[in-house]
Amino acid sequence: MKFQQIDQFAANLRADTRESVHSGSKAGHEKRTSVLFDHYADPNRLRQIAGEIKQHVVENLDTYLPAVEARLQANGVIVHWASTAEAANEAVYSILQARGAKKMVKAKTMVSEETELGHFLEKRGIECVETDLGEFIIQIDGDHPSHIVKPIIHKNRREIATSFERHGLGAYNDDPETITRRARAHLRHKYLEADVGLTGANFVVAESGRIVLVTNEGNSRFCLAATKCHIAMIGIEKILPRDRDLGLLLNLLARSGTGQQLTVYTEFIRGPKAAPQEDGPEETHVVFVDNGRSEVLASDCREILRCIRCGACLNVCPVYRQASGHAYRSVYPGPVGAVLSPLLAGKQFPELADLPKASSLCGACNEVCPVNIPIPDLLLRLREKGKREGSEAAAAATPPMGAWSVMATQPAAWKLAMFGGKIMNVLPAKYIPVPALQAWQAKRTLPAWRGGAFRSWLRTRAQPAADVRSAKSEG
């Protein structure tokens, strides 16, 4: 029997992991909603305009990319381009080599997760330390992030305390404050020893060449205060047209991601430090990374390139909450990942083509998305593509719709099926000879069957509508 892989994963998920993910994402969503609606009379209008701005950028990348490059260079930034993950990693490595750099500190960047930069550099003898607390814990555990904003949403404090102990960061102590202080003491010396600081970018503005970075912990600021060389790895879709658009997007990003008005640190970088300032990079590099994005741009799902990686769609998604991020088997989990991951996979698309099916199409992801991406529509388009390309992963556990259409168009067959439904209340699903149903049911419980009663109700019902009308006119 073929299972949807994500179902399989969800079914095998440890109960405490599911609980961590469920409560973490639910809390994130509730905070986001109350803050947005409390602060703004019409938050949906903000989302709509932000979506239009980003859609404009996506559809004009051919002019924006050379424009932003020229602006960055005018600001003294050295610009590199990388078609693939490998080329991006090589570009970073050659910057390090040119400086004789051996140690790098790294802020959280999703694009470096895509390219697996850390492993790449470590194999070449570079010490590459993750500095975001969550990413640091992921690194010492050899794990993968399971959320794009809260990478260790799947871990509890006991697991973290055990990892710290194993990693020589003090005796077991699972108090979150102690954990954080130990990381603080350990990591600040890593920043000060490092030759290079690597970050991503939340936005890069075409008009000014400003690279905009947001963090809460202050780790990317430390990377940029302690080291002499800054490398920003940036996906080619991260552009905003004008500085003033930051006024909209920053407000939306923080509220959607973490329910804050603003992230604690919002940094605007135009290039190397100014002369009187002692701290900070003398050299600033930008590596623009394609890694499949231009193919997404050519597809009928290019709207996903609007994404600003806020994580709101993960937090609200009923499938994500049950299955956790690792179930998506890729860097981007949740609804955004169900669209983006198979697309970025290029030739490996069929292997991830089941992800677009990991959705009930409830539409909640679209409703919370700060750039108003129509994720359910994109999921449908990708389901089509999966079918066209005959992906086996996508076909797993698909119910036979041909049988459904016969049943729904022949009254006799329908009656029989409704009777069959009643039998299901007493007959375990494993005895019903429909493999897709068995697969579905193996991981879920069906509610008691109550179907088939509509027609008899229609024949025998009273006519209350007329009574109500006459009662009203009498009153």
Interface of this chain with ligand SF4, residues 350 to 379, rule: CB under 6 A? 368-371, 373
| Euclidean distance between CA atoms 316 and 27, whole angstroms | 10
- Residue 432 to residue 434: CA distance in whole angstroms: 6
**Which residue carries 């290079």 as its tokens?**
196
DSSP 235: E
For 430, residues 6+ apart whose C-beta sits below 8 A from its C-beta are 438, 441, 442
Residue 81 near which of ligand SF4, another protein, none (CB within 5-8 Å, type-dependent): another protein
- Residue 333 interacts with ligand SF4 (CB under 6 A)? no
Whole-number Å distance between alpha carbons of 266 and 250: 9
Supply the minimum distance, in Å, between the C-beta of residue 238 and another protein. 14
Question: For residues 233 and 371, which CB has a smaller minimum distance to ligand SF4 in the complex?
Answer: 371
Identify residues 81-120 at the interface with another protein (CB under 8 A): 81-83, 87, 91
Strand-pairing partners, residue 81, are: 288
Q: Give the residue with the Cβ less far from another protein, 220 or 359.
A: 220
Work out what residue 266 binds among ligand SF4, another protein, none; the CB cut-off runs from 5 to 8 Å by kind: another protein
The span from the CA of 367 to the CA of 459, in Å, is: 40
128/339 with CB nearer ligand SF4: 339
121 belongs to the binding site for ligand SF4 (CB under 6 A): no
Contact status, residue 271 vs residue 230, Cβ threshold 8 Å: no
Q: What are phi and psi of 358, to 5 degrees?
A: -80, 60
Closer to ligand SF4 by CB, 287 or 371: give it: 371
Q: Which is nearer to ligand SF4, 197 or 311 (by Cβ)?
A: 311
Residue 98 C-beta: closest distance to ligand SF4, Å: 35
Decide if residue 274 touches another protein (CB under 8 A).
yes
| 160 scored as a contact of another protein (CB under 8 A) | yes
- Quote the CA–CA distance of 376 and 5 in Å, as a whole number: 20
- Tokens 């871990």 belong to which residue? 155
The yes or no reply on residue 61 touching ligand SF4 (CB under 6 A) is no
Q: How many residues bind another protein (CB under 8 A)?
A: 99
For 437, residues 6+ apart whose C-beta sits below 8 A from its C-beta are 399, 429
In the complex, what is the shortest distance from the CB of residue 256 to ligand SF4, in angstroms, rounded to a whole number?
6
- C-alpha dist (Å) from residue 349 to 281, 353, 385, 386: 40, 6, 9, 8
Within 294-313, the residues that bind another protein by CB under 8 A are 294-295, 297-298, 302
Q: Are 352 and 342 in contact (CB under 8 A)?
A: yes
HSE-up (13 A, CA, CB side) for residue 50: 25
147 or 285, CB closer to ligand SF4?
147
Under rule CB under 8 A, residue 273 binds another protein: yes
- Single out the segment in contact with another protein by CB under 8 A; choices: 155-163, 384-392, 437-445, 462-470: 155-163
Judged by the rule CB under 6 A, the positions of this chain that interact with ligand SF4 are 307-313, 336, 368-371, 373
